[in-house]
Structure 1
Amino acid sequence: MSSGIRGAIALGVSLWSLATSAAVEGPGKEQFLQAARATGSIQVDGKLNEDDWARAPVFDGFVERYPAAGRTPSEKTELRILYDGDMLYVGVVARDSEPSRIDRRLGRRDSAPYSDTIHVLVDPTHDHRTAYSFSVTAGGVQSDGLYYDDRYYTEDWSGIWAGASDGVEDGWVAEFAIPLSLLRFPEAPVQTWGFSVRRDIARKNEELESVDNPRNHNANVSRLGHLTGLENIQPRGRWELMPYLAARGLARPQFSDASRPAPRLLSPSMDVGLDVRAALTSQLALAATFNPDFGEVEADELLLNLSTFEAYFPERRPFFTQGMELFQPVGMDVGGAPLALFYSRRIGLDTPLLGAAKVTGSVGGVQVGVLDALVTGPWQARDEASPDRNLRFDWRRPLHLGAGLELPDEPSATTHYLVAVARGKVGAGSRVGGAVAMANPLSGTCTAEDAALEDSQQPASCRGRGGLAGALDFDLKTADSTWGVYGMMVASRVDGGPPERVLADGTRLQTGDSGVGGYLRAGRFGGEGLRPEVGVDVATPKLSLVATGFQRSQNEVAPRASLRYARPNGLGPFKALFANAHAGGKWTADDRSEHRVTWFNLYASATLPSFDTLSVETGLDLNGYDVRELAKTGIPLERPDRMFVSLSGETNPNRKVSVEGYVALGHRFQGGPSAPAWDWGGEVTLSARPHPSLQTELSVGNDKTDHGPRYVETLDDGRFLLGSLDSRFLSLTLRQQWVLTPRLTLQGYAQLFTAHGTYGPFFTATSDARRSRIRLDSLTAVAHDDDSSFYDTALNVNVVARWEYQLGSTLFLIYSRSQQGLPEPEGERPSATLRPRQLLAGPANDAVMLKWSYYWGV
């Protein structure tokens, strides 16, 4: 293990030398496009009929990016660029030999369907790492996003800009007006920016670009061409104010007991709030929010998590999705990284968010980001027999008017969050940086006596989770970005909350305890052919990032090795071909070095000549021991060996009806008294577009897993009671979208979820004071009345009408319903069925909200 880490560090040092000594090269570096200054006004209507467009230089030297990189395109594309003191204008004429086949499907803002599209990429700071992306489809749908770290893309960034499309006799036109105040760029007599334009031809699955920038490179922004000729433009300071007003009516059960769904009470409420954006300097931008409301955001997916690990949910709240790319862990996103210093869903989900602000940009060539947030909320003891229906303001939530019965009946910790990130460029395309994250509960100190109280009686000081974490990270690449090494080293300290808590693996975590960890990846990440890669993840037993970040596990050392074969530009009859082989293991990071698992994985994916994609994957877990299963004791419990094989596919999304999904078959081998068993699961999503303005998406997911012996309880004599667990779930999800215009849309979402789990037969197991391993063949069968099985069914519905009545200003009408099934009567065995029994008879929350916002740019 240690020799593997030393080898990876040695590789990193070699790559550092290459990255800091080689010059950046590539076809994009020699291309210069010229912008012309507009002398009159430009109306953004997709027509390009102003005189300035006729005088602008025309560029038509596009090349094919996919499926055949570097090939002469099948259709001609003409690009013109204008600017004035306020705007950058881009006009593109997309010629087409079959204009009747241009895909003009409609979608809502920032949710464009796969169709004929023009994308404009702009790197105004010319740092070769970050580029804004602006897109307009042939149907007039606008969307935007951000390329960061040279090679990654996020749709979370959003700006206020104008775009339009229209048809011409032999094609279509896309026109863009991008405010200079939206772009951060330095002061200079003549600006030179990174720049490129891409064109998607949907029916041909072709991607064209104004510069040779093939997909097989582990780079994107650094390979853009240049845009020059922008003379005498100044960075523009700008303030954008977006106040909102929201009125909501909520119908909810009077009693918290799920077996008493009636009567229901109507509870009105009202909120006001404000979002602020500002260009503080030419290099720094501010975004702030006060009493934000995210009622239009789709509910989290319902799922069944029977593991001992926290489930990851993606962020959907606009304030926390926009401009957050710098806060991502290096080389990965939060959900894919073993360790992440910042996970925005820690803020404002359990306790209302009073306000937050973030500053992002660069200072002296160093990228910086700072986020500050405060959560606080009132509460009061609840008398369910005589609910408080009086409307009131509370100083802890001053911009909210609501009834007393809305308030939580338990205190929550007022908590201050602070996250700061800085990353600097090294050499041609590498970078190093650091970050700190802090959660500071402001509700006093939780004593041992407080922590010993029942959960419902504990003060707010015991409910907070505080901590401080710091990280150093690096992303080092060769000049062509083909080889690289990246990773993060992190340390944490626990503050606030109860004086001691016991983690799933038995580690006792006390206030003031600290831990360290990190991850490392090194190898070949770009180019055609073989791509070897090695890596390791480390987390000591007391590393705790959960106050501000996301951490799948602790007390773990996990080395890995991969050999990938990549042909992103195709091989033989295939439009793209990938094959990967992975292997790794896991051990505890404490003095015991308990083996947790050895795993192997093979994967292959091919894009067929029809542009359908097929993938196959198989994996094997061997010699596993789980130190998190047995009631926070840390005693390793043997897990049965497992293998699986899965087949997945996706049809060409250009078709009116497309399908994607997977099916998996798993096998659990003999494990002590538990007989071998087969598992299966899968999900299929059907998308239908019968009309350019309509889209229906139906997903069906089904899973059957035999877990083997799982912990049930600890008996009075100290023995562990285990039961073989067989779980199943069924998920039906419907999404419907109706686009009247790109700015007026109606969308609906509904998920029906049912799950059940059955325990039995049952076994007992024992260990000793040394916490010796428990092997499955040592389990003893025992008779036990099953009182651990479960059955759940639920329904979530969300319908949103969205009208952008003027640029940046919106009106929402939202209806949502959260429905739970009626629980089984006391003493009855839970149902073992996937039918939604007693669903509509159970407790339900219905909410209707009208939300108005107004955009004001200064």
Structure 2
Amino acid sequence: MLREWALTAGVLWAGVGAAAVEGPGRDQFLRAARASGPVAVDGRVDEETWAKAPVFDAFVQRFPEAGKAPSERTELRVLYDDRNVYFAITCHDSQPALINRNLGRRDSDLYSDRVRVLLDTTHDHRTAYVFTVNAGGVQTDGLHYDDQNYTSDWDGVWDAAAGSFEGGWVAELAIPLSLLRFPEAPLQTWGFSVRRDIARRNEELETVLNPRTSGAIVSRLGHLTGMEQLRPQRAVELVPYLAARTVARPQFSDAARPWPRLVDPSLDVGLDLRAALTSNLALTATLNPDFGQVEADQLILNLSSFEAFFPEKRTFFTQGMELFNQVGGEGMPQTLFYSRRIGLHTPILGAAKLTGTVAPGVEVGVLDAVVTGPWLRDVDEERPDRSMGLHLTRPLHLGPNNALPTDPMVPMNYLAAVVRGKVGTSSRVGGMVTMATPLTGGCTAEDAALDEELQPMPCLARGGNAAAVDFDLRTADGQYGLMGQLEASQGVGGPPERTLRDGTVLRRGDTGFGGYVRAGKYGGEGFRWDVGDDFTTPRLELNPSGFLRTQNQHAPRAALHYERPNGMGPLKSFSANLSGGTQWTTDGRGLNRGSWVNFNTGAQLPSFDYFGLEAGVNFGSWDVRELKSSGVPLEGASDAFLVLIAESNENRKVSGGGFVAAAYHLQAGPVAPAWGWQADLYGTVRPHPALETRLELLLDRTPTAPRFIEDLGDNHFILSPLLSDTLSLTLRQQWVVTPRLTLQAYAQLFTTYGAYGTYYEGVSDASHTPIRFSSLRPVERENTDDFHDVGLNLNVVLRWEYRLGSTLYVVYTRGQQRLPVADGARPPHTLMPHGLLAGAANDALLVKWAWYWGA
């Protein structure tokens, strides 16, 4: 019955040149045809089998006028055989000379003419593969998950080509069935749509009506059917690699002695593996992974008492990780699994993850990683050991013994396991468990009392267990939703007790609890709203394997939005948002940790340039983290700010944008009010589709209220206001010889200085009474706290995909810091890069060869 109904529904392949005002939705069934001969992926679509394939051309606009007829005609054909599913999208264009064919490295998000194929192969209405190819032949892939969220981190090995004809261009894609998860069935029916972007018109077309106003994507897809007798492919993919590296570095760890330098060669071998264990379960593993081709993290100045969050860039941890993401996507306050914890200091020996479906609508994921490596605490830098060594804790690495790190490499095992179950059409519930387990012995109180450089390794471990249940409940149309998470943690390993930044004492075995919830109207034109609440107890500790910016906090919030993503009057889009919230401690004191009100608005002009503004006020608070680990609250200052934002249409050869912000910091006791400001600007030049130059400039001036300098004991503290200036200049250069042969360069010059002012004494008591700014008293003290830092990061990467899935990298990197300011000298109060060229530098040249084998 299902097959007969689907075949009958195939008549919706009808039509020539439909000028739809209202496009089809979930009831649309498009039909694929079995290929009658071989298909060469060359962008020409000239094989006889393509001529026999049904043609669909009833695309509708998604943006800027949802549901309206497209400005240009698009034809879609779909074929399949026992190994691949093929897509041919013929993009007619009345002005072919204006087609944007910008080139870039694989997976670069280019503003260009392009097509995207969305495939929900498990038909769960929540997850869809996305395969993109632009008019220049550049491939990109990613994944929609939780119906509306998107990640570009998923990668697969598939083929595509772009070709030209007199009246437009053609995209041809071949997606291996071994790359897709789908059930065993006589007839396959997948969620499906194809999107086309016409860059110069900023126009999005789609095979189904899926407007930006909806709060859903995957659940609104049409369907692809007609694929008979397809068998899930039990494929195995192996990617062994060989990496040869040479590093030139200072012989001495003392930054004031940048010369002489040593040249340290090293050799690594490793393996990546992917295997389909069943039709619904896939295994991915890596042994001694090397990420030398990954761009270095941005240099920043973090003067806050909170850890900075950095995005993941390493391929093993970016591919197929959507199942491990927290409900609500990035930006949620309590994250159980933050992959940057793994291998941050200690090398990864091996890691594996298992993902897939164990029952209809039930997904599971398990990840395990072991980090360990050799190190030497006592090194004779005057007479370095230049002999090459192999070590059991890192058996696939060969390098000189003098290059071993001197910081302890704490062996750890990281485990994350998650299960998510579908509820109804657009909802799901789930749970997650994470464990960061030190592979060391125990740490006694006597061991922990030693100076840190003398403590045994078990005292340096930071382990923990955490578990959570989560839910993401949405109406069928995706407009209304309720989502959240409830979690608990337990401290494991390390010293018998340690003190957190806010003074909370965390003992081994201590437990903490927390959670967050969000509810609101997330889709539709006009007014939307949402409310939320975050709660963490003082002893909640997710950071051994996750990311928790702060604990000991209760933070309700509310927001009202007005959204017109399809335009309003002459504007192509418009939004306005008003939000506010407050927060206080959960340790029984109920101390106010701050309240805020924020308003922002933005609009896309008829020229598709964007302008916006944001304004807000942060009201005074008690800062329980500033006076490090003392538990004494310090009064926090109030401020008001205004931000102006602009971005030009990216379709131009020269484009740019950024923001300029100004903040007024109110008087903080003896410190007078002051202005701060920040400008973050960028400009991009594309003189040719194969060349792109991007320059980014950040300038920041931040005055602060009196902040922590020294703990004198007995709840007496030295504080001082700080004025910091920062300059960051980043250059990115790209040259694309072909979409599979690219050269990229990245350079960041970072300089900053900080000038402290009058020193003050703040006094509390045994009850940890809060310190008010008005109670501060000036004291005499020599200023030895000013700073001046300069850094340079340089990264040049040649990437050649010499055959499908196989790559050769040649990478040069340089990292350099300024020569330290001489003892007794005052650091310069300037953003000039004084001392940089004389400072210590590390230069590395890497050649990495990876070969793809699939069967």
Please give the range of the TM-score, normalised by the shorter of the 2 chains: over 0.9
CA distance in 2 between counterparts of 1:233 and 1:715 reads 73
Tell me the alpha carbon deviations over residues 120-150 of structure 1, each in whole angstroms, 9 at most, x when there is no partner: 0101000000000001111011111000000
SS across alignment from 2:365: strand
CA distance in 2 between counterparts of 1:717 and 1:601 reads 40
1:356 and 2:351 matched: yes
> How does the TM-score come out when normalised to structure 1?
0.96
Give the superposition deviation at 1:789: 1.2
Give the superposition deviation at 1:206: 0.3
CA distance in 2 between counterparts of 1:635 and 1:816 reads 44
SS across alignment from 2:26: helix
**Counterpart residue type for residue 217 of structure 2:** N
CA distance in 1 between counterparts of 2:65 and 2:449 reads 67
Give the superposition deviation at 1:410: 3.2
1:231 and 2:231 matched: no
The gaps in structure 2 that reach 5 residues or longer are 1-21
User: Which of 463, 466, 487 is 2:463 aligned to?
Assistant: 466
1:541 and 2:538 matched: yes
Which range moved further: 633-642 or 658-667?
Answer: 633-642
SS across alignment from 1:715: strand
Q: Which residue of 2 aligns with 1:11?
A: none
Give the superposition deviation at 1:324: 0.5
Q: Which residue of 1 aligns with 2:372?
A: 376
Q: Which residue of 1 aligns with 2:18?
A: none
CA distance in 2 between counterparts of 1:34 and 1:107 reads 33
Tell me the alpha carbon deviations over residues 545-582 of structure 1, each in whole angstroms, 9 at most, x when there is no partner: 01000000000000001001111111111111111001
**Native 8 Å contact 1:640 1:708 kept in 2:** yes
Q: 1:270-419, aligned counterparts within 5 Å?
A: 270-333=267-330, 336-365=331-360, 366-380=362-376, 381-419=378-416
Tell me the alpha carbon deviations over residues 638-687 of structure 1, each in whole angstroms, 9 at most, x when there is no partner: 11111100011111111101102000000011121110000001110111
User: Which of 155, 165, 168 is 1:168 aligned to?
Assistant: 165
1:770 and 2:767 matched: yes
**Counterpart residue type for residue 371 of structure 1:** L
**Native 8 Å contact 2:516 2:535 kept in 1:** yes
Give the superposition deviation at 1:443: 1.2
Q: Which residue of 2 aligns with 1:8?
A: none
SS across alignment from 2:209: coil
CA distance in 2 between counterparts of 1:771 and 1:715 reads 15
Q: Which residue of 2 aligns with 1:582?
A: 579
**Native 8 Å contact 2:23 2:60 kept in 1:** no
**Native 8 Å contact 1:328 1:342 kept in 2:** yes
**Native 8 Å contact 2:23 2:208 kept in 1:** no
User: Which of 570, 574, 577 is 1:573 aligned to?
Assistant: 570
SS across alignment from 1:203: helix
Give the superposition deviation at 1:623: 2.4
Give the superposition deviation at 1:69: 0.4
CA distance in 1 between counterparts of 2:783 and 2:308 reads 27
**Counterpart residue type for residue 706 of structure 1:** P
CA distance in 2 between counterparts of 1:446 and 1:96 reads 70
Q: Which residue of 2 aligns with 1:811?
A: 808
Give the superposition deviation at 1:769: 1.5
1:726 and 2:723 matched: yes
Q: Which residue of 2 aligns with 1:509?
A: 506
Give the superposition deviation at 1:628: 0.5
**Native 8 Å contact 2:23 2:67 kept in 1:** no
Tell me the alpha carbon deviations over residues 438-495 of structure 1, each in whole angstroms, 9 at most, x when there is no partner: 0100111111121122222222211211110000000001111101110100100000
**Counterpart residue type for residue 350 of structure 2:** G
1:841 and 2:829 matched: no
**Native 8 Å contact 1:600 1:620 kept in 2:** yes
**Native 8 Å contact 1:28 1:226 kept in 2:** no
**Native 8 Å contact 1:412 1:463 kept in 2:** no
Q: Which residue of 2 aligns with 1:529?
A: 526
**Native 8 Å contact 1:112 1:137 kept in 2:** no
Give the superposition deviation at 1:26: 9.8
**Native 8 Å contact 1:26 1:223 kept in 2:** no
CA distance in 2 between counterparts of 1:623 and 1:93 reads 59
CA distance in 1 between counterparts of 2:672 and 2:23 reads 59
User: Which of 552, 557, 560 is 2:557 aligned to?
Assistant: 560
Superposition RMSD in Å: 1.0
Tell me the alpha carbon deviations over residues 9-47 of structure 1, each in whole angstroms, 9 at most, x when there is no partner: xxxxxxxxxxxxxxxx99421101010000110000001
CA distance in 2 between counterparts of 1:324 and 1:718 reads 46
Q: 1:390-789, aligned counterparts within 5 Å?
A: 390-715=387-712, 718-789=715-786
Give the superposition deviation at 1:827: 1.1
Give the superposition deviation at 1:411: 2.3
**Counterpart residue type for residue 680 of structure 2:** E
SS across alignment from 2:340: helix
1:138 and 2:140 matched: no
Give the superposition deviation at 1:718: 4.4
**Counterpart residue type for residue 345 of structure 1:** R
CA distance in 2 between counterparts of 1:503 and 1:217 reads 43
Give the superposition deviation at 1:361: 1.2
SS across alignment from 2:697: strand
CA distance in 2 between counterparts of 1:570 and 1:490 reads 41
SS across alignment from 1:561: strand
What is the percent sequence identity of the aligned residues? 59
SS across alignment from 1:257: coil
**Native 8 Å contact 1:27 1:223 kept in 2:** no
**Counterpart residue type for residue 347 of structure 1:** I
1:121 and 2:156 matched: no
CA distance in 1 between counterparts of 2:628 and 2:190 reads 58
**Native 8 Å contact 2:85 2:176 kept in 1:** yes
Query: 1:479/1:383 Cα in 2 relative to 1: closer, same or farther (>3 Å)?
Result: same
CA distance in 2 between counterparts of 1:390 and 1:28 reads 67
Give the superposition deviation at 1:631: 2.4
CA distance in 1 between counterparts of 2:664 and 2:723 reads 13
CA distance in 1 between counterparts of 2:453 and 2:335 reads 31
Q: What is the count of residue pairs matched by the alignment? A: 832
Give the superposition deviation at 1:716: 5.6
**Counterpart residue type for residue 430 of structure 1:** S
Give the superposition deviation at 1:717: 6.1
CA distance in 1 between counterparts of 2:347 and 2:838 reads 30
Q: Which residue of 2 aligns with 1:217?
A: 214
CA distance in 1 between counterparts of 2:628 and 2:470 reads 35
**Native 8 Å contact 2:570 2:606 kept in 1:** yes
CA distance in 1 between counterparts of 2:324 and 2:657 reads 31
**Native 8 Å contact 2:660 2:679 kept in 1:** yes
SS across alignment from 1:326: helix
CA distance in 1 between counterparts of 2:23 and 2:496 reads 57
User: Which of 241, 246, 249 is 1:249 aligned to?
Assistant: 246
Q: Which residue of 1 aligns with 2:19?
A: none
**Native 8 Å contact 1:190 1:230 kept in 2:** yes
Which range moved further: 763-772 or 537-546?
Answer: 763-772
CA distance in 2 between counterparts of 1:586 and 1:117 reads 45
CA distance in 2 between counterparts of 1:453 and 1:264 reads 34
Give the superposition deviation at 1:714: 1.9
Query: 1:281/1:810 Cα in 2 relative to 1: closer, same or farther (>3 Å)?
Result: same
**Counterpart residue type for residue 624 of structure 1:** S
**Native 8 Å contact 1:241 1:277 kept in 2:** yes
The gaps in structure 1 that reach 5 residues or longer are 1-24
Q: Which residue of 1 aligns with 2:12?
A: none
SS across alignment from 1:226: strand
**Counterpart residue type for residue 202 of structure 1:** A
Tell me the alpha carbon deviations over residues 194-242 of structure 1, each in whole angstroms, 9 at most, x when there is no partner: 0000000001000000111001111000000000000011111000000
